[in-house]
Amino acid sequence: MIEILSVVGPASVQDLGRFDQYRFGVGTSGAMDDVALRAGNMLLGNDENAAGIEIPMMPFKLRFDQDMAFALTGADVVAEITGRAIPPWWRSQARAGDVLTIRTMPRGARCYLTVGGGIDVPAVLGSRSTQLRGEFGGLHGRPLQPGDILPCAVSAAVIGEFGVEPTDITLARPNAADDETIVRVVVAGEYDGFDDATQALFWSSSWKITPQSNRYGYRLQGPAVKPRVPIEKRSHGIVPGVIQIPPNGQPIIQMRDAQTSGGYPKIATVIGADLWRVGQARLGGTLRFEQTAYVNALAAESEMSAYLDRLRTNLRLVEEIRACR
């Protein structure tokens, strides 16, 4: 088991999400950076969908109540356990009574703690992810609090320490300024409802991520982007990554806890291979949108899959080499 000792902000239990309930109006939830969660689980030999803890704010402290392996992935963090520094994207072994402290997050917006076997909260509608709006899943459907006890399906295996290459090195977008995230998008249903000048403004602008941004949606601030004439649509299906334009002209990117329908006009959609980048963009930072074609979006998915395949292969080879020693 794990005991939460201190927490700032809405840390929560998340797996990869619930994708088979969308037709019933239940959103996906799941890790904002699914690549980081997958990598943490791979490091530990878990199923890639095993639940971990998504930690968006520091400091964060917990105690391991039994021996277990763990990993930290996602954002770069300054962390230590019993006075020993823990690098990011690294797996380690904790002993019963050890206290893990994550002090700061110099880069990125969310880190993920995974443990051998996964966080063993009950699955609800096919997922252990916390659905904050619906108040179900995770631990009692809410953010973690000091004193919470999380059950863990702990593997008895003791594994050696090991680290992997972070995704932001392998898959970084070129030409990004400091504290700026470039994400690739495809145009969406109502794109042609905006005139040429407004479309150009959307592509050329840097959009500030406002403090009102969260797991439901990233609210951006910049020049007003408005259609030629007001577009009023009945609510219809939307998915994470959709960029909507409300009447004030300030874009909203739907994120993992987004509702399943909405009526604001859609100007573009963040491609699946880049949605994790948005999840790792910090409040107060900026986003820029890079238009891409559908065929290139598919190629980006292949690039992401190739990275994950390399990671799986490399980890398997490391374990085979260790087993032969």
Dihedral of CA atoms 161, 14, 128, 212 in degrees, nearest 10, equals 170
- CB environment 228-260: b (16+ within 10 A), e (fewer): eeebeeeeeebebbbbbbeeeebbbbbbbbbeb
Q: What is the mean pLDDT of each run of 10 residues along the chain (325 residues)?
A: 94 95 90 95 94 95 94 93 89 93 92 95 96 93 96 70 68 69 94 96 97 96 93 86 96 94 94 95 94 95 91 84 71
CA distance 113 to 43: 11
Residue 175 confidence (pLDDT): 66
Whether 216 and 109 map to the same domain: the answer is no
Residue 169 confidence (pLDDT): 61
Among residues 120, 137, 163, which one ends one of the domains? 163
Whether 133 and 190 map to the same domain: the answer is no
246 contacts 264 by C-beta, under 8 angstroms: yes
The residue length of the chain stands at 325
Residue 168, domain member (yes or no): no
Torsion 210-139-258-282 (CA) sign: positive
Residue 164 confidence (pLDDT): 72
Which tokens is 218 given?
């990233």
Residue 267 confidence (pLDDT): 97
Which tokens is 201 given?
């403004």
Residue 325 confidence (pLDDT): 67
CA distance 187 to 92: 43
Give, to the nearest 10 degrees, the angle between helix 294-324 and helix 34-44. 20
Among residues 163, 194, 215, which one ends one of the domains? 163
CA distance 2 to 281: 28
Range of 214's domain?
180-292
Whether 54 and 185 map to the same domain: the answer is no
Residue 91, domain member (yes or no): yes
Residues 6+ apart with CB under 8 A from 200: none
223 contacts 205 by C-beta, under 8 angstroms: yes
Whether 263 and 189 map to the same domain: the answer is yes
CA distance 32 to 278: 8
Whether 156 and 241 map to the same domain: the answer is no
Residue 145 confidence (pLDDT): 96
CA distance 319 to 177: 38
| 11: exposed, middle or buried (Cβ count in 10 Å: 0-12, 13-18, 19+) | buried
Contacts 24+ apart (CB under 8 A), 275-278: 275/183, 275/240, 275/241, 276/32, 276/33, 276/34, 276/35, 276/36, 276/167, 277/173, 277/181, 277/182, 277/183, 278/181, 278/183, 278/218, 278/241, 278/253
Whether 139 and 185 map to the same domain: the answer is no
Residue 88 DSSP symbol: S
Residue 82 confidence (pLDDT): 87
Residue 33, domain member (yes or no): yes
245 contacts 258 by C-beta, under 8 angstroms: no
Residue 157 confidence (pLDDT): 57
Counted domains in the chain: 2
Whether 156 and 224 map to the same domain: the answer is no
Residue 168 confidence (pLDDT): 66
CA distance 26 to 41: 25
Q: Residues 90-99: pLDDT tens digits?
A: 889 999 999 9
Residue 279, domain member (yes or no): yes
Alpha-carbon 182 to chain mean position: 16
Q: Residues 83-124: pLDDT tens digits?
A: 899 988 888 999 999 999 999 999 899 999 999 999 999 999
Residues 6+ apart with CB under 8 A from 304: 35, 171, 273
Residue 322, domain member (yes or no): no
